[in-house]
Chains A and B, each alone.
Chain A
Amino acid sequence: MGGSFASLAPGVDANWLLNSLVVVIIGGMGSLGGAAIGALLLGLTTNFAAAYLPADYTYYSIIFTFVLLAIVLAVRPLGLFGRPA
């Protein structure tokens, strides 16, 4: 699905892997619903940050993705829906 919407090049794998790892960690491991919510949060944060930041700061949007993850893990160390093993 991603192929029809994004471009493909060597090195893209690392990006996608990192993104999916971020999604899973935000949602919490072992939770399918968490992954969906995590993906939604990640996508919305990245794109809204890119759209609403003042023009000079558009490049900072990538930082927000990681700030989101840092905040989620600081508040809920196992991710939003993670349960202790």
Chain B
Amino acid sequence: MSWTRGSRLTPDRVAGTVLVLLALFAPLIFSEYWVATLLTQMLFLGIVAASLIFLSAYGGMVSLAQTAIYGVAGFALGNLTTNGNTKGLNLGWAEFPGIVVALGVALIVALVFGALSSRSYGIYFLMITLVLSVIANLFFGQVTSVSGFGGISGIPIPDFLSRTAHPDRLYFATLAVALIVYVALRYVARTPFGLTLQGIRDDPVRMSSLGYNVTLHRMLAFTFAGFIAAIGGILFVWWNAQIAPSTIGLSATIDVLVIAVIGGLYRLEGAWLGALVFVVINNYAPDIGFISERFHTLIGVIFLVIVLVSPNGLIGLWERATAGRRRTIPGDITQERGSAEPTPVG
């Protein structure tokens, strides 16, 4: 969808424009419940899933620690801005210093997590990020001075975003942040840093013999993705007004992975697509008579069907449907992953 490569009307660009317009006018089209609950949730879950897809598509790192970092940002904001009547430190700060410090804390945690895990590859990377995520969950569950099992409630939202001021403002703020995140992730993927990262994804040994510091690049990519996830965490806390350790538990971690896989683990747009499917199913499936208590089974079945029909997720289906009209060869992974410029291989 890059506008630097000529102004041809590709199916991707048309669909992207239609979807952005649809999102902008959503409050006029959909009911208030849909906008304030489902679509807002879709947008911030999409941000977290996009950070995972960024790591996986451009860095070859499937991380399970995104929810942990998202939780760290949420818990930090909760501890900083609440003011009595709840668990945690109740520091009672104003919102904006709270956001900055919460994002800073999450960034530091992401840096530490990245430093610990960037030397591992494949299943070891998956395991160490899973372990870090479990540690974060247990930490907030057990350390009662910052949270405890009940979590923090009544986290304030800035006045101009609150639902009492206007029901749609939080939605628009989330939409704006999601668009910025999307553009930023695409931009970073095209910088020399992003290109090096893709080189590392394809062949770490070669990149290292060319003189690139592989571990440092992986660590920084992880930190950057953690920062994006932390932004999603702040939005989540505002939307939900509370956060508990179960929010970042194992099942939440798996949910983010499921969202990313349903959408397509190799294109950023897939994050929001997967999040939409997930949120709608999660919300409506329990209402359908015989499914009610078995809705995890339903999500599992849908997941299986999507993975069997299209291993590249819903984005893969879309690409197959529009394959006849595109210039590039559908199987050409370098094009699809956004590295149109030749990677400097020396």
On A, residues with C-beta under 8 Å from B are: 21-22, 25, 29, 59-60, 62-63, 66-67, 69-70, 73-74, 77-79, 82
A21→B124 CA distance, assembly (Å): 11
Given contacts A66-B134, A77-B124, 14 further A-B contacts (CB under 8 A): A22-B131, A66-B131, A66-B135, A66-B138, A67-B135, A69-B127, A69-B131, A70-B131, A73-B127, A73-B131, A74-B116, A77-B119, A77-B121, A82-B124
- Nearest neighbor of B143 in chain A, beta-carbon distance: A60
Which of B121, B127, B132, B139 lies in contact with A21, CB distance below 8 A? B127
Number of A-B contacts (CB under 8 A): 45
A68→B123 CA distance, assembly (Å): 17
- Nearest neighbor of A75 in chain B, beta-carbon distance: B119
- B6-49 contacts to A, CB under 8 A, are none
Q: Across the interface, which residues of A come within 8 angstroms of B135, CB to CB?
A: 63, 66-67, 70
The answer to whether A73 and B139 have CB atoms under 8 Å apart is no
The answer to whether B119 and A63 have CB atoms under 8 Å apart is no
Main secondary structure of the interface of B (DSSP, over half): helix
A69→B128 CA distance, assembly (Å): 7
A67→B116 CA distance, assembly (Å): 11
- Nearest neighbor of A59 in chain B, beta-carbon distance: B142
Main secondary structure of the interface of A (DSSP, over half): helix
Q: Across the interface, which residues of B come within 8 angstroms of A63, CB to CB?
A: 135, 138-139, 142
The answer to whether A25 and B124 have CB atoms under 8 Å apart is yes
On B, residues with C-beta under 8 Å from A are: 116-117, 119-121, 123-124, 127-128, 131-132, 134-135, 138-139, 142
Q: Across the interface, which residues of B come within 8 angstroms of A25, CB to CB?
A: 123-124, 127
B116 → chain A closest CB, angstroms: 5
B71 → chain A closest CB, angstroms: 15
A78→B132 CA distance, assembly (Å): 16
Which of A59, A66, A78 lies in contact with B124, CB distance below 8 A? A78
The answer to whether B128 and A73 have CB atoms under 8 Å apart is yes
Beyond A25-B124, A78-B124, A79-B124, whether A73 also contacts B116 by CB under 8 A is yes
The answer to whether A73 and B117 have CB atoms under 8 Å apart is yes
A23 → chain B closest CB, angstroms: 11
- Nearest neighbor of B113 in chain A, beta-carbon distance: A70
Which of A21, A59, A77 lies in contact with B120, CB distance below 8 A? A77
The answer to whether B121 and A70 have CB atoms under 8 Å apart is no
Q: Across the interface, which residues of A come within 8 angstroms of B116, CB to CB?
A: 70, 73-74
A-B contact pairs, 29 of them (CB 8 A): A21-B127, A22-B131, A25-B123, A25-B124, A63-B135, A63-B138, A63-B139, A63-B142, A66-B131, A66-B134, A66-B135, A66-B138, A67-B135, A69-B127, A69-B128, A69-B131, A70-B116, A70-B131, A70-B132, A70-B135, A73-B116, A73-B127, A73-B128, A73-B131, A74-B117, A74-B128, A78-B124, A79-B124, A82-B124
A49 → chain B closest CB, angstroms: 12
The answer to whether A62 and B128 have CB atoms under 8 Å apart is no
Q: Across the interface, which residues of B come within 8 angstroms of A21, CB to CB?
A: 127
A57→B123 CA distance, assembly (Å): 32
The answer to whether B138 and A62 have CB atoms under 8 Å apart is yes
- Nearest neighbor of A67 in chain B, beta-carbon distance: B135
A79→B121 CA distance, assembly (Å): 12
- Nearest neighbor of A72 in chain B, beta-carbon distance: B128
B148 → chain A closest CB, angstroms: 11
- Nearest neighbor of A29 in chain B, beta-carbon distance: B123
A2→B303 CA distance, assembly (Å): 33
A85→B142 CA distance, assembly (Å): 38
Q: Across the interface, which residues of B come within 8 angstroms of A67, CB to CB?
A: 135
Q: Across the interface, which residues of B come within 8 angstroms of A79, CB to CB?
A: 124
Q: Across the interface, which residues of B come within 8 angstroms of A73, CB to CB?
A: 116-117, 120, 124, 127-128, 131
A4 → chain B closest CB, angstroms: 28
Q: Across the interface, which residues of B come within 8 angstroms of A59, CB to CB?
A: 142
- Nearest neighbor of B116 in chain A, beta-carbon distance: A74
